[in-house]
Chains A and B, each alone.
Chain A
Amino acid sequence: MLKIENLHVTANARPVLKGLSLSIGAGEVHAIMGPNGSGKSTLSYVLAGRDGYEVTEGSVTFMGQNLLDMVPEDRAALGFFLAFQYPVEIPGVSSTTFLKTALNALRKKRGEKELEPVNFLKLQKEKMALLGMDAEMMKRGVNVGFSGGEKKRNEVLQMAMLEPKMCVMDETDSGLDIDALKVVSDGVNAMRGKDRSFLVITHYQRLLDHIKPDFVHVLANGKIQKSGGPELALILEEKGYAEFYGAGEAA
């Protein structure tokens, strides 16, 4: 589904990703763990198409297409989704308007008909209940006055509504208490399926207790330093990232 090969990325004239390769098959859940500054967020932003990052080498193929050539909205239409580490506040646009505009834009691009307002609201209500969200929130401006946890729930709600094929979740666990973590994880687990893949970026093992990954990768110094099964996360939790800094320097 997603194939990243030898990706080199520069941000603010500083190399951040230095030859990252990663392949994610349909239905798989991958986790990337790594210390601060290892390039985790850069990876998520480059995949989503944010300005300010220069790809100097390498390629990213998604659903058989060159992802890096596309504008962000086209990536979304193809089924790519990034749950932001810091969701953006947009005063004046209600969450409902925002979601409806997004969903209909995606449908239009895929040649589908716009959703009837009644059906949209029904769908939204259903997904919100799943995430334990209050209807009142959706009348407010997007993320305006939301707590950290509410913002993250809202990201997962958008993901549930837009039904992407590839979900990248950038530190979705940060700002969540234990209960919220469980609700959000349940929401994600409910979306797992053979046609949908996940890339979960996190600092902590904690999230991976709830969202069980098929593969775990360690990102340090701009490269995947080690890959393994879920057990790798447990080792990292115990030993930390120290040994991977060394490996990065050596490479």
Chain B
Amino acid sequence: MTTAAAKEIFMESTPQNAAALPWLADAAAFDKEKSADWVRALRATGAESFARTGLPTPAWEGWQYLNLRPLSSMAFHYAAGPVVFDAAKIPAPLLGQHRVVLVNGQYQPKLSSLPPHVTVMSLMEAAEKKIPGLQDHLVRLGDLAATPMMALNSAYLRDGMVLIVDKNKDVEVPVEVLFYNSGDGAAIYPRVAYLLGENSGLTIIERHMGEGAYFANAFIAVGQESASRFRYYRFQDESGKSSHFSYLDAQLKKDTSFEGFSLSTGAGICRQECRLQLLDRGISSNIGGIYLMKGQQGHDFSVVADHFEPGGASAQHFRGVVDDKARAVYQGKIHVRRNAQKTDGYQSHHALLLSDQAEASVKPELEIYADDVKCSHGATSGHLDPVALFYLRSRGIPAKEAKALLVQSFLAEALKQITYQPIENICAERVAAWLAGRGI
């Protein structure tokens, strides 16, 4: 289907799609651009799908808890031209010197610097070069009708980049990927692919940040060839007025390892969705995160570990702190297919509520079709223990400091999962800074 044909569907305004149409209006700009056939086709499929569904409502499976209503009262626009920005506002890298910069989703080669054995190009350049496997990772998305944010991202398929690691190379230095976003009302749709060659290793530090009331909706594809090792760290520091949606889809092949950790403090509305596909034998994945929420922030971690073959291990360790009237959601699922015997699956989520109006909604799920597996989960939510607080104060530790110590110790259990020490340290510093900013 072409964009024009898709447009016919959503040009017929019906009560169902009336709200969806404004979101797609700017995609018409792509009609004049020359693009690869599959790119055009994916845009059209995405647009068509989103025109039918619109944004998810609380009636949707998996979207019951996060409040998206504030989005419907705002108008967002995608800017087709090159983004204009003030380079002075781009912060220095968190660690080391290698990085890739995307401004409003657009790859900035002049601001980027790469270590040996790593290649980066813009998404459109990669599409033209017909990089093997790329199309697979970017097109094979599953059911777009069930993932409207991804459908919307597909309708605007253009910005973003592809990062490739040569096979048999361990890139020892971390590479930062900075998503810098700005502009009130800007709609930003980056699509990024990390492709790790056989037996390669890579550490990525993603930072999502910016200024203004924008809407960022990213799709991240991870393709790991056999025996590759990926450490993926993410800092979600988006502007408080913005919305952040991201969908990470990782296809993990034989004997690979995936470690992911996300520290999330920013954005008014944030949903970080993740699907790990353990496609072969001998795969281990460990994904975790911490969220720190205040005011009226809404935050959602939705994670699926999908085991296809025997002998895989997947773990999920999430913890968060919710203050004021903020609302947190965790939806975690371990899906063990019929063939995936001897799977070892674990998931945990613990929320600490610092105010009476803070909320945490938790949905742990095990969906198991194999009979010889070990899967478990643990979930709690509660307030700071007044007895522990008293114990610390009775030893002379002032109330504020005692509270901070308890929150830090609560979060430390999740931070322990991070194997790369500098990142664990930065996370601990961020936690301390967040607490200090709250007067705790």
Which residues of A have CB within 8 Å of B390?
Answer: 48-51, 72
Is the C-beta of A202 less than 8 angstroms from some C-beta in chain B? no
Interface size on B, residues (CB 8 A): 24
The answer to whether A90 touches B409, judged by C-beta atoms less than 8 angstroms apart, is yes
The answer to whether A101 touches B387, judged by C-beta atoms less than 8 angstroms apart, is no
Given A49-B394, A51-B390, A88-B388, check contact A73 B413 (CB 8 Å): no
How far is the CB of A84 from the nearest CB of chain B, in Å?
7
The answer to whether A91 touches B405, judged by C-beta atoms less than 8 angstroms apart, is no
Which residues of B have CB within 8 Å of A72?
Answer: 390, 393-394
Complex formed: what's the CA distance from A91 to B413 in Å?
Answer: 8
Complex formed: what's the CA distance from A162 to B396 in Å?
Answer: 9
The answer to whether A51 touches B398, judged by C-beta atoms less than 8 angstroms apart, is no
Given A51-B386, A88-B388, A92-B410, check contact A105 B394 (CB 8 Å): no
Complex formed: what's the CA distance from A51 to B385 in Å?
Answer: 12
Complex formed: what's the CA distance from A132 to B275 in Å?
Answer: 51
Complex formed: what's the CA distance from A87 to B388 in Å?
Answer: 9
Pick the contact of A76: B394, B401, B412 (CB < 8 A): B394
A38-95 residues at the B interface, CB under 8 angstroms: 48-51, 71-73, 75-77, 81-82, 84, 87-93
The answer to whether B393 touches A101, judged by C-beta atoms less than 8 angstroms apart, is no
Is the C-beta of A185 less than 8 angstroms from some C-beta in chain B? no
The answer to whether B396 touches A92, judged by C-beta atoms less than 8 angstroms apart, is no
Is the C-beta of B141 less than 8 angstroms from some C-beta in chain A? no
Q: Which residue of B lies closest to A94 (CB)?
A: B409
The answer to whether A48 touches B394, judged by C-beta atoms less than 8 angstroms apart, is yes
The answer to whether A73 touches B396, judged by C-beta atoms less than 8 angstroms apart, is yes
Pick the contact of B396: A88, A89, A105, A141 (CB < 8 A): A105
How far is the CB of B387 from the nearest CB of chain A, in Å?
6
Which residues of B have CB within 8 Å of A77?
Answer: 396
Is the C-beta of A7 less than 8 angstroms from some C-beta in chain B? no
List of 6 A-B pairs having minimum Cβ-Cβ separation, nearest first: A92-B409, A76-B396, A102-B395, A92-B412, A72-B393, A88-B391
Is the C-beta of B366 less than 8 angstroms from some C-beta in chain A? no
Complex formed: what's the CA distance from A106 to B396 in Å?
Answer: 6
The answer to whether B387 touches A88, judged by C-beta atoms less than 8 angstroms apart, is yes
Which residues of B have CB within 8 Å of A48?
Answer: 390, 394
Interface string of B378-393 (1 = CB under 8 A from A): 0000000111101111
Complex formed: what's the CA distance from A51 to B394 in Å?
Answer: 12
Pick the contact of A87: B391, B402, B406 (CB < 8 A): B391
| Interface residues, chain B, with chain A CB atoms under 8 Å away | 385-388, 390-399, 401-402, 405-406, 408-413
The answer to whether A101 touches B409, judged by C-beta atoms less than 8 angstroms apart, is no
Is the C-beta of A109 less than 8 angstroms from some C-beta in chain B? yes
Given A88-B387, A92-B408, A92-B409, check contact A162 B399 (CB 8 Å): no
Interface size on A, residues (CB 8 A): 31
Dominant secondary structure of chain B at its interface with chain A: helix
Complex formed: what's the CA distance from A81 to B406 in Å?
Answer: 21
Complex formed: what's the CA distance from A76 to B396 in Å?
Answer: 5
Q: Which residue of B lies closest to A97 (CB)?
A: B405
Complex formed: what's the CA distance from A72 to B408 in Å?
Answer: 21
The answer to whether A90 touches B397, judged by C-beta atoms less than 8 angstroms apart, is no
Complex formed: what's the CA distance from A90 to B394 in Å?
Answer: 14
Which residues of A have CB within 8 Å of B393?
Answer: 49, 71-73, 76
Complex formed: what's the CA distance from A98 to B395 in Å?
Answer: 9
The answer to whether B396 touches A109, judged by C-beta atoms less than 8 angstroms apart, is yes
Complex formed: what's the CA distance from A90 to B406 in Å?
Answer: 8
Pick the contact of A102: B396, B399, B406 (CB < 8 A): B396
Complex formed: what's the CA distance from A162 to B394 in Å?
Answer: 11
Complex formed: what's the CA distance from A77 to B398 in Å?
Answer: 10
How far is the CB of B385 from the nearest CB of chain A, in Å?
8
Which residues of B have CB within 8 Å of A197?
Answer: none
How far is the CB of B373 from the nearest CB of chain A, in Å?
28
Question: Mind listing 16 A-B residue pairs with CB under 8 Å?
Answer: A51-B390, A72-B390, A73-B397, A75-B394, A77-B396, A81-B394, A82-B394, A88-B387, A92-B410, A93-B405, A97-B405, A101-B397, A102-B395, A102-B397, A141-B409, A158-B395
Given A101-B397, A158-B395, 13 new contacts (CB under 8 A):
A50-B394, A51-B386, A88-B385, A90-B409, A91-B413, A93-B405, A93-B412, A102-B397, A105-B395, A105-B396, A105-B397, A105-B401, A106-B396
Q: Which residue of A lies closest to B393 (CB)?
A: A72
Complex formed: what's the CA distance from A88 to B413 in Å?
Answer: 18
Pick the contact of A162: B387, B395, B411 (CB < 8 A): B395
Q: Which residue of B lies closest to A50 (CB)?
A: B390
Q: Which residue of A lies closest to B413 (CB)?
A: A92
Which residues of B have CB within 8 Å of A98?
Answer: 392, 395, 405
Pick the contact of B405: A76, A87, A101 (CB < 8 A): A101
How far is the CB of B11 from the nearest CB of chain A, in Å?
57
Which residues of A have CB within 8 Å of B397?
Answer: 73, 101-102, 105
Interface string of A149-169 (1 = CB under 8 A from B): 000000000100010000000
The answer to whether A76 touches B395, judged by C-beta atoms less than 8 angstroms apart, is yes
Complex formed: what's the CA distance from A106 to B408 in Å?
Answer: 21
A199-247 residues at the B interface, CB under 8 angstroms: none
Pick the contact of A105: B387, B398, B409, B411 (CB < 8 A): B398
How far is the CB of A197 from the nearest CB of chain B, in Å?
17
How far is the CB of A166 from the nearest CB of chain B, in Å?
13
How far is the CB of B414 from the nearest CB of chain A, in Å?
10
Complex formed: what's the CA distance from A106 to B394 in Å?
Answer: 11
Complex formed: what's the CA distance from A51 to B396 in Å?
Answer: 16
Which residues of B have CB within 8 Å of A51?
Answer: 386, 390
Q: Which residue of A lies closest to B409 (CB)?
A: A92
Which residues of B have CB within 8 Å of A71?
Answer: 393, 399
Complex formed: what's the CA distance from A84 to B398 in Å?
Answer: 19
Q: Which residue of B lies closest to A90 (CB)?
A: B388
Complex formed: what's the CA distance from A75 to B397 in Å?
Answer: 11
Report which residue of A75, A88, A109 has the largest number of chain B beta carbons within 10 angstroms of its beta carbon.
A88
How far is the CB of B431 from the nearest CB of chain A, in Å?
12
Pick the contact of B391: A90, A92, A97 (CB < 8 A): A90
Which residues of B have CB within 8 Å of A93?
Answer: 405-406, 408-409, 412
Complex formed: what's the CA distance from A101 to B396 in Å?
Answer: 9
The answer to whether A73 touches B398, judged by C-beta atoms less than 8 angstroms apart, is yes
Report which residue of B395, B402, B409 has the largest number of chain A beta carbons within 10 angstroms of its beta carbon.
B395
Given A51-B390, A82-B394, A84-B391, check contact A73 B399 (CB 8 Å): yes
